[in-house]
Amino acid sequence: MVKSCKNNNKNNKELKFFTLPKNSLKAKEWIEAAGNSMVNMEKPKSHRICAIHFEQKYLVRHPHEVLYGLLPPKAYRGLTENAVPTLHLPER
């Protein structure tokens, strides 16, 4: 969804992708940050932003990571409620 990002599930299977938030105001904030005005808000689950666009402070740390230094399974990686993509975004 980030215009300049080439990551996808096929070329990076370990990278976590996050769907747009259910909150429409937060979703619009993500879309604006991503620089992609072509997003169809009627199908929010079809649009994803990869983890490299989020600062560490927005990533929820799983006990596997904290205790053992292991990357948890993708299903257990999440974001804080106030997360907004801020890294590696197109210039405005």
Q: Sign of the C-alpha dihedral, residues 71, 74, 79, 84?
A: positive
Q: Identify which of 59, 57, 56, 34 has the alpha carbon closest to the alpha carbon of residue 47.
A: 34
pLDDT band at 75 (very low <50, low <70, confident <90, very high): low
Give pLDDT tens digits for 13-54: 888 899 999 898 999 999 999 988 788 777 777 889 999 999
Instruction: State the amino acid at position 53 in one-letter form.
Output: H
Single pTM value for the model = 0.80
pLDDT above 70 (res 66): no
